[in-house]
Amino acid sequence: MEYHLGDNPVTAHSWNANRTQIAVIPNSNEVQIYKYEPNLSDWTLLDNLDQHGLLVTGIDWAPNTNRIVTCSADRNAYVWTIDDKGKWKPTLVLLRISRAATCVKWSPNEKKFAVGSGAQLISVCYFEVENDWWVSKHIKKPIRSTVTALDWHPNNMVLATGTADFRVRLFNVHMKEVDQCQKVKTEWDTDDTSVPNLVAEFTNSSRGGGWIHGLAFNKTGNRLCWVAHDSSITVADVSKGSIVVNKLKTNELPFISCIWVSDRALVAAGHGCCPMLYCIDSNNKVQFVSKIDSSQKKEAAGLSAMKKFQSLDRQARINSDYELDTKHQNTLTCLRVHTESNNAVLKFTSSGLDGKIILWELNSLDKLLQGLKI
């Protein structure tokens, strides 16, 4: 199912809890909120969030508290809440950064969120009840480049970060006043305690390997996947007690985003304009399964030699068909889970620079994985 919510590229999107509303970033300083009208079988614009002064770079919609957090190249972040009249009202977050904010993500319990930036640091933000505002604590060491991707472990304490220096780092961002529990050691912790709060660090390649575009924990938190600009997919696994890292170098164009669709299966998409399904086999190796997009390119007109010469004679040009054989006609920028059941994703959505948002169904996921040793 395809949705067209405007003529501009969609750089990111996020759903509300019951998937009746969607927030999209139309490659501008605004965020647009749409609601699906079943009677019209179409989307209507509900609100336009225009508080940011520069390009909005990240968005996340908390399903339980119904709050939206956005970040922007203007170095600001806002938490949006809906008032009694149904209008979204912003609250400024004190990020205290000197460069553009690049990405944002709510923690699973929605008590805090993290903001990555070009200032070579992460702002972990929480609400201070005494002063009635959102404040932040910084994580700086050992980050030496722009933070490009974020994701939270299900325990709300471990934060995974991807950066432009080709590294993935895991930090323990436990806050006693927010989490209301003691700091605990996780399965990801290593014996190296030289850097405070650093749980683990992975290099995408010994020779660089491309900056990190996206990363994601699975539901149980024992696997972390990331995609990088060298067209690779890497999975770090601690399900057997120790950290095992496996990397698959693909022949595809670089991936931008990735999501887990089951405990052992994931979808990655990006510059190739087509979502790809991968799985983790019994040896913890990343294995390609299939393309999610099964579209076929329509036969182009004017392929015969006679047609080409006729076109050249009449119009002084040769007819060309530039349409891709995929539903998306440009880079996919964001993947989001839409429908889940029994810890498996049944539907997910993708947004792209072609302005489309497409709903994909994975009802036949078990059939796709049949015959694979996983």
pLDDT tens-place string over residues 5-17: 888 999 999 999 9
Task: State residue 250's pLDDT score.
Answer: 94
Least confident of 176-190, 243-257, 304-318, 343-357: 304-318
The answer to whether the bond into 142 is cis (omega within 30° of 0) is yes
Structure-block tokens of residue 266: 């994931």
Q: Which residues pair with 158 in a beta bridge?
A: 172
Least confident of 22-26, 159-163, 191-195, 284-288: 191-195
Structure-block tokens of residue 229: 């600009």
State the pLDDT confidence band at 324, using cuts at 50, 70 and 90. Answer: confident
3-class state of residue 177 by DSSP: helix
Amino acid at the residue 215:
L
- pLDDT of 298 > 60? The answer is no
Average pLDDT estimate for 239-248: 90
pTM, full prediction: 0.89
Given a contact cutoff of 8 angstroms between Cβ atoms, the answer to whether 135 and 144 are in contact is: no
Task: State residue 300's pLDDT score.
Answer: 46
Sheet with 42-49: list strands edge to edge: 12-15, 21-25, 31-37, 42-49
Least confident of 301-305, 329-333, 357-361: 301-305
| Residue whose C-alpha is closest to residue 139's, from 224, 62, 199 | 199
- pLDDT of 194 > 60? The answer is yes
High-pLDDT (> 70) share of the chain, %: 88
Q: What region, left, alpha or beta, does residue 208 occupy, with left being phi > 0 and alpha being psi -120 to 50 degrees?
A: left
Average pLDDT estimate for 348-353: 96
Average pLDDT estimate for 224-241: 94
Q: How far is CA 363 from the centre of its chain?
A: 22
18 DSSP 8-state letter:
T
Given a contact cutoff of 8 angstroms between Cβ atoms, the answer to whether 70 and 58 are in contact is: yes
| Residue whose C-alpha is closest to residue 126's, from 163, 177, 162 | 177
- From residue 166, how far is each of 58, 110, 162, 172, 258 by CA, in Å? 21, 29, 8, 20, 17
Task: State residue 299's pLDDT score.
Answer: 47
Distance separating alpha carbons of residues 276 and 290, to the nearest angstrom:
6
Task: State residue 320's pLDDT score.
Answer: 53
Structure-block tokens of residue 26: 């139309």
Distance separating alpha carbons of residues 353 and 333, to the nearest angstrom:
7
Average pLDDT estimate for 161-168: 95
